């Protein structure tokens, strides 16, 4: 008997299509029951039909009208921040669990390796951004060892991997990621920068994490390195292409008050260089920024499904 939890994906672009394929190929707990789009000619909807997945090109209203809608427990939204607000409003009366892959930030921010357990019961889970999924685990690892007075992340992604939704949400990306660096990562202040790299051939996602900390004790600095390396392994368990580009660097800063943290004590800067290579399931390998979003969202959906009572699966 198929006891997998039924799920729908709204958004038939690159992210939604990759998520659908991951669900079909690898998920033991989730069954893709609908692919939803608004462009009848989209490759995502065409591919879903070829794979036997029920589809609609009428958006969220088309999903609600589908014959199997009542059996769907989880809805992944891979549209845009503005569209998610409307989709969440339309789905609110039906009691679905929403996993939001846009920067809308209606629900709690979730980074699976950091704070999944405490948010599994939330009605609308927000997956922050690709830059947040890649860098917040590192900030959190440092913050669990020494107070992070300031954290700044720079996410560089291939311009080819930035679709219309990403380009339309640049402001939301930086604001949402900066907020999550503080609320999830534990930094006192956070800043996020995104770079769309037009290089040819396209380069894989690269991320730089800078943390200002007060860590005068060499033993504390050693624990910071150990914590970051453990966290990298935790994320790589669900994003295989996630890895350190260079060894963790911890360098001493001068004794003057740092302008970014006023008079708070800061003795060292932690620098972590990351890269994220995509798995190549639907997207090219350079699109690690999209792969980390779909992989993280799938991890959240599977954990929710595992907790769903058998009687309502």
Would the annotation count 15 as a binding residue? yes
- Residue of 74, 99, 130, 293 with catalytic role: 130
Confidence of residue 151 (pLDDT cuts 50, 70, 90): very high
Residue 286 to residue 280: CA distance in whole angstroms: 9
Would the annotation count 305 as a binding residue? no
Would the annotation count 247 as a binding residue? no
Is pLDDT above 80 for 116?
yes
Would the annotation count 197 as a binding residue? no
Would the annotation count 11 as a binding residue? no
For 2-20, what is the mean pLDDT?
Answer: 94
Is pLDDT above 90 for 304?
yes
The phi and psi torsions of 195 (rounded to 5 degrees) equal: -120, 125
pLDDT at 122: 97
Which of 1-10, 161-170, 239-248, 290-299 shows the lowest mean pLDDT across its residues?
161-170
**Residue 169: which residues within 8 A CB-CB, separation 6 or more?**
80, 81, 102, 103
Q: Is 211 designated active site? A: no
pLDDT at 280: 94
pLDDT at 257: 52
The third-level CATH classification (topology) of the domain covering 130-286 is Dihydrodipicolinate Reductase; domain 2 (3.30.360)
What is the token pair recorded at 57?
A: 């090109």
Is pLDDT above 60 for 56?
yes
What is the token pair recorded at 282?
A: 């639907």
The rounded percent of the chain whose pLDDT value lies above 90 is: 86
pTM: 0.93
Is pLDDT above 70 for 260?
no
Query: If phi over 0 gives left and psi between -120 and 50 gives alpha, with beta otherwise, what is residue 241?
Result: alpha
For 208-225, what is the mean pLDDT?
Answer: 95
5-127+293-312: which CATH architecture?
A: 3-Layer(aba) Sandwich (3.40)
Is pLDDT above 60 for 313?
no
Confidence of residue 113 (pLDDT cuts 50, 70, 90): very high
Which of 119-123, 138-142, 163-167, 239-243 shows the lowest mean pLDDT across its residues?
163-167
pLDDT at 76: 98
Would the annotation count 153 as a binding residue? no
Mean pLDDT, the chain, rounded, equals 94
Would the annotation count 185 as a binding residue? no
For 85-93, what is the mean pLDDT?
Answer: 98
Q: Compute the C-alpha angle 300/182/136, nearest 5°.
A: 45
**Residue 270: which residues within 8 A CB-CB, separation 6 or more?**
142, 209, 210, 211, 212, 213, 224, 228, 248, 249, 250
Would the annotation count 67 as a binding residue? no
- Give the dihedral sign, CA 306/228/272/107: positive
Rounded-to-10 torsion of CA 42, 48, 54, 55: -10
Omega of the bond leading into 171 within 30 degrees of 0 (cis): no
Domain map (residue ranges) of the chain: 5-127+293-312, 130-286
For 234-256, what is the mean pLDDT?
Answer: 92
What is the token pair recorded at 62?
A: 């088309």
Is pLDDT above 70 for 93?
yes
């Amino acid at each position: 008997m198929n006891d997998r939890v039924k799920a729908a994906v709204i958004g038939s672009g690159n992210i939604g299509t990759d998520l659908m394929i991951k669900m079909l190929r690898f998920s033991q707990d989730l069954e893709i029951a609908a692919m939803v789009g608004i462009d009848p000619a989209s490759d995502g909807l065409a591919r879903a039909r070829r794979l036997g997945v029920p589809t609609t090109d009428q958006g969220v209203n088309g999903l609600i009208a589908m014959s199997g809608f009542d059996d769907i427990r989880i809805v992944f939204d891979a549209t845009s921040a503005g569209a998610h607000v409307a989709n969440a409003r339309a789905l609110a009366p039906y009691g679905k669990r929403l996993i939001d892959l846009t920067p809308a930030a209606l629900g709690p921010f979730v980074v699976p390796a950091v704070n999944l357990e405490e948010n599994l019961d939330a009605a609308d889970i927000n997956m922050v951004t690709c830059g947040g999924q890649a860098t917040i685990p590192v900030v959190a690892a440092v913050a669990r060892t020494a107070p992070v007075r300031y954290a700044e992340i720079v996410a560089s992604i291939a311009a080819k991997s930035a679709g219309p939704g990403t380009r339309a949400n640049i402001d939301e990306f930086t604001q949402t990621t900066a907020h999550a660096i503080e609320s999830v990562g534990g930094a006192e202040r956070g800043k996020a920068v995104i770079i769309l790299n037009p290089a040819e051939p396209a380069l894989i996602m690269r991320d730089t994490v800078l943390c200002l900390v007060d860590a005068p004790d060499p033993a504390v600095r050693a624990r910071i390195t150990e914590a970051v390396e453990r966290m990298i392994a935790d994320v790589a368990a669900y994003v295989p292409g996630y890895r350190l580009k260079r060894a963790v660097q911890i360098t001493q800063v001068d004794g003057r008050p740092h302008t970014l943290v006023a008079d708070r004590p800061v003795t060292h800067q932690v620098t972590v260089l990351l890269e994220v290579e995509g798995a190549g399931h639907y997207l090219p390998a350079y699109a690690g920024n999209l792969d980390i979003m779909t992989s993280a969202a799938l991890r959240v959906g599977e954990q929710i499904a595992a907790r769903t009572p058998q009687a309502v699966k």
